[in-house]
Amino acid sequence: MATEKTIPTKIKVVLEYGLSSQSVPMIWEAIATAPGLTSWFADDVQATGKIFSFSWGKHESREAELINSRQNTYVRFHWLDDEPGTYFEMRILKNDLTSNYSLEVIDFADTDSDDDVRSLWDTSMDALRRCGL
């Protein structure tokens, strides 16, 4: 009996954004802590252990588990209501030639909504830059 292959419903989206900050601890604070994420990513972020609760406005909220991290390098979260194997990751990169930092974002999107995911991250990165990063 042949086994059916399932077609993934999500595709990986990889984006990179230049940062003006040269302070890895400041970048880390912004991407890995509840207060830092509240400053640019969501209206409110609360962390209890490895579970982060993200809220936007009065009615939209989601929970994510911090599934992996390496201090001053990257954080990886999995939305609890999303498909297994999906995550969003923010990784601090340094260009060895220019010594400038950037943030690499890895996320997953429905096959027909990758432009929406890119647009959401573009907007979030604009907010991060307004925080001085």
What does the pLDDT profile of the chain (133 residues) look like in tens digits?
455 544 457 899 999 999 998 899 999 999 999 999 999 999 999 999 999 999 998 889 999 999 999 999 999 999 999 999 999 999 999 998 888 999 999 999 988 788 889 999 999 999 999 988 8
DSSP string, 44-90: EEEEETTEEEEEETTTEEEEEEEEEEETTTEEEEEETTS-TT--EEE
